[in-house]
Amino acid sequence: MFRNTIVAIASCAGMASVTLAGGTHVLADANSTATFDTNTGQVDWLVDGVNQLFAQEFYFRRANDTQELGVNANNLNLDGIFTTDTNPFSDNNVDALSQLYSDGNGLQIETIFTLRGGTAGSANADLAEQIIIRNNSNASMSLSFFQFVDFDLGGDFSDDSGDIINGNTARQFDNDFSVSETVVTPSPTAFQMGNAVAMSDLLNDGNIDNLDGTASGIGDVGWAFQWDFTLAAGEAFIITKDKSIVPAPASMLLLGAAGLTASRRRRS
CATH code at 214? 2.70.98.40
In degrees, rounded to 5, the angle at the alpha carbon of residue 24 between the alpha carbons of residues 134 and 29 is 90
Report the mean per-residue pLDDT for the chain: 89
Does 262 reside within a domain?
no
CB 58 within 8 A of CB 74: no
Does 10 reside within a domain?
no
Range 227-238 average pLDDT: 98
Which pLDDT belongs to residue 248? 79
Name the band, by pLDDT with cuts 50, 70 and 90, for residue 19. Answer: low
Total number of domains constituting the chain: 1
Does 9 reside within a domain?
no
Does 241 reside within a domain?
yes
CA distance 39 to 21: 11
Whether a cis peptide bond, with omega within 30° of 0, leads into 88 is no
Does 226 reside within a domain?
yes
Does 47 reside within a domain?
yes
End-to-end CA distance of the chain: 21
CA 155 → CA 102, 151, 203, distances in Å?
Answer: 34, 9, 24
**pLDDT greater than 50 at residue 161:** yes
Does 161 reside within a domain?
yes
Domain range enclosing 176 = 16-252
pLDDT tens per residue across span 189-207: 999 999 999 999 999 999 9
Which pLDDT belongs to residue 21? 65
CA distance 155 to 99: 27
Range 86-110 average pLDDT: 96
Does 266 reside within a domain?
no
Name the band, by pLDDT with cuts 50, 70 and 90, for residue 15. Answer: low
Q: Which residues of 161-177 are buried (b: 16+ CB within 10 A; e: fewer)?
A: bbbbeeebebbbbbeeb
